[in-house]
Structure 1
C-alpha cells in the first residue's frame, strides 16, 4: 500500500483541516486496494484462458461483485469529500483521479469475468475448438500491462506511466494478429463458427482491458503533472 500523500504534485491546500487530508488518504488507499484485488482477479481469468482452469471462474465472479460494491463505496466517499472540503490544486487532482481510476478498475474486473466465462462456455459447448497460443500470449501481455498500470498508480510515477502508455501499441498489434488468425479459422471451419466467435470475443475483451490500463496510466500523468494527455498518445 502506498504511503499517505504519495506524490508532490503541487502545494497542499493549506486551508483544509487535518482530518480532510486523512479522509483523502483513506479513499486513495481504498482505490489502491481495489486495484490489487482486480489485478488478482485478472490473473485468475488469464490462468483460465491459458490453462483451462474453469474452477477459478467462481472466484472471479465473487471478486467482480465485490469490485462493484467497492466502486460505489469509493465513488460515494470521494463525492462526499469533494462536496464537504472543496479541495483544490493537487488534492483536487487526486480526488479526480480516484473517480476516474475507480471506474477503470471496475470495468477491468467486469471484462475479466467476461473472458473467464467465455472459457467455460467454450469448454462446455465447443470442446473441439482450442484457444491458439497467440490468444494465450495476448492474455499474458494484457496482464503484464495491467500490472504495470497498477505499479505506476501506486508509485505515482508519470515517467513510468508514459512507458505504459507507449506499451499499448504492443497490445494493439498482438490483438490484431489474434483477430486475423481467428477470423481465418471462422472461414475455414464454418461448422465451428460459434466456438471461434467466442474466442474472438475474448480477444476483444482482453484488448479493452488493456485500454483501461492505459487510461489509468494517462490519469497518473494528469495526477502528477496536471496534464491531460488522453487521445494525444505518448509524449
Structure 2
C-alpha cells in the first residue's frame, strides 16, 4: 500500500547528509527517530482518512467504527511526538536550520492531528446519516470532492517523503481548485434543501462533511508548505 511504502522509502530524511555536518551525533539520532515516527503517524492518519471517506460513500458503519476506535492510539502518538520535540529543544537547544527542522516536525504533527480529527468527524456523520429516516446516498459532487481531497493528502505526503518541491508547489496551487469545488458543492446542497426540505438534516450533514473535506485539503497544502520551508528556508505564501 502507498502508506506502507512511504515509511520504507523515507527511512532517512532528505536533509540527512547536510545534517551530519551541522549537528551532534545524539541530536541526529533523536531527529532520525522523530522523523520516522512522524512518517508512521502520517501513514496511519492517511489510512484513517481513506477509510472514513469509504465508510461515508458506502454507508459502512463497520469502517466508521474502526476509524473512531483508533482515536486514543492516534492521540497518544501525537502527544508523544510533541513532547519529544519539546525535549529535544530543551536538551539540544538547536539553532538556525536545526531549529527549523524540529519546528517543521511540530507543524506537521499539528496538521496530522487535525487530519485525524476530520477523519473521525466524517466517520461520526456516517452514523448520523444512517439514522436519517429519509436518508440519501452521497451526492456525486460531494464524492468527487472527497476523492480530490484525498488526492491532495496523498500527494502532500508524497512530496514530504521525497522532498519533491515541485510536487509540493503543485499541491499548494491545487488548493484553490478544491476551494472552488467546495463552494459549488455547498451551493448545490443549499439548492437541494430548498427543493426537498424534508431531508434538510441529511443535506446539512452533507454540507458539514464538505467543509471537513475542504479543510482536509487545506491541511494537505500546509504540509506541502513545510516541504518548501525545509528545502528553501522559507515557505510559500498562498494568496487568499
State the TM-score, normalizing by the size of structure 2.
Answer: 0.90
Alignment-derived partner of residue 5 in structure 1: 13
Partner of 2:63: 56
Measured at CA, do residues 122 and 94 of structure 1 come closer, stay the same or move farther in structure 2, by a change above 3 Å? same
Q: Are 1:173 and 2:180 matched, yes or no? A: yes
Deviation (angstroms), 1:191: 1.9
Instruction: State the distance in 1 between where 2:149 and 2:121 align.
Output: 15
User: What is the rounded CA distance, in whole Å, between the counterparts of 1:108 and 1:19 in structure 2?
Assistant: 31
Taking the TM superposition and a 5 Å limit, the aligned residue runs for 1:24-39 are: 24-39=31-46
Match of 2:153 in 1: 146
Structure 1 residue 135: deviation in Å? 0.7
The 1-side partners of 2:84 and 2:95 are apart by: 17
Distance 1:229 1:200 in 2: 30
Q: How does 1:28-107 map to 2 (within 5 A)?
A: 28-107=35-114
How far 1:11 sits from its partner (Å)?
6.0
Partner Cα separation in structure 2 for residue 98 and residue 43 of structure 1: 23
User: Would the alpha carbon gap of residues 49 and 9 (structure 1) be closer, same or farther in structure 2, given more than 3 Å must change?
Assistant: farther
User: Which of 203, 207, 211 is the aligned partner of 1:196?
Assistant: 203
Alignment root-mean-square deviation, CA: 1.8
Contact 1:46 1:139 (C-alpha < 8 Å) held by counterparts: yes
Deviation at 1:90, TM superposition (A): 2.8
SS of match in other structure, 1:153: helix
Query: Is 1:135 aligned with 2:135?
Result: no
Distance change in 2, residues 1:231/1:100 (3 Å): same
**Relative contact order, higher structure (CA 8 A, sep 6+):** 1
Count of residue pairs the alignment pairs up: 232
Q: Is the 8 A contact 1:175 1:207 kept in 2?
A: yes
What is the rounded CA distance, in whole Å, between the counterparts of 2:235 and 2:17 in structure 1?
14
Which digits, 9 at most, give the CA deviation of each residue in 1:83-130, with x for residues without a partner? 111223332221111000101001001111111211221111244333
Any unmatched runs of 5+ in structure 1?
Answer: none
Distance 1:82 1:97 in 2: 12
Q: Structure 2: any 5+ residue segments left out of the alignment?
A: 1-6
> TM-score, normalised on structure 1?
0.92
Report the CA distance between 1:67 and its aligned residue. 1.8
Conserved in 1, the CA contact under 8 Å of 2:152 and 2:220? yes
Alpha-carbon distance, 1:162 to partner = 0.2
Deviation, 1:228, is 2.5
Per the alignment, in what secondary structure is the counterpart of residue 70 of structure 2?
helix
